[in-house]
Amino acid sequence: MTLPNGNTVSTLANGEIWATIHPDGVPIAIRLTPDMPARGQFQTLIVQNLPESNIVNAPQSAETVVWGNCQSKTYEYMGSVFYQGKMRSGPPTGDDPTPPEGVTRRVEPDSPMDHTFHVICQP
């Protein structure tokens, strides 16, 4: 399904539902779960491409687990896995995901995370 601004919602062969949005023209994929749109807390995966690098074999994309709270508009990064290809294609670059940061962040207006919250949270 194609939404305004080139945003899409698609179902993968494994049944996962993903929304792809383009804040600032950069694609971000968000895994949707049956409890979305959410009113309170949620957990999701966010996949985005990393900036180009001149480092040989540098990862090209990252999948990050996010815990969020729609009411307080806060979130925490719970860990990331880096991939050799764009948008989570190719094998992961490391054996283990990064650990949780243990930092709660506020959603900044008009940031990529703000656009993500608009997809996940009920208005």
Which of 6-10, 35-39, 83-87, 109-113 has the lowest average pLDDT?
A: 6-10
What is the rounded average pLDDT for all residues in the chain?
92
CA distances for 38 relative to 19, 58, 69, 70, 110, angstroms: 15, 35, 9, 7, 19
Residue 4 — pLDDT band, cuts 50, 70, 90?
A: low
- The residue type of 43 is Q
CA nearest neighbour of 63 among 37, 35, 94? 94
Taking only the tens place, the pLDDT of each residue in 46-58 is 999 999 889 888 8
Q: Above 70 in pLDDT, residue 30?
A: yes
Number of domains in the chain: 1
CATH (domain of 30): 2.40.128.710
pLDDT band at residue 96 under the 50/70/90 scheme: confident
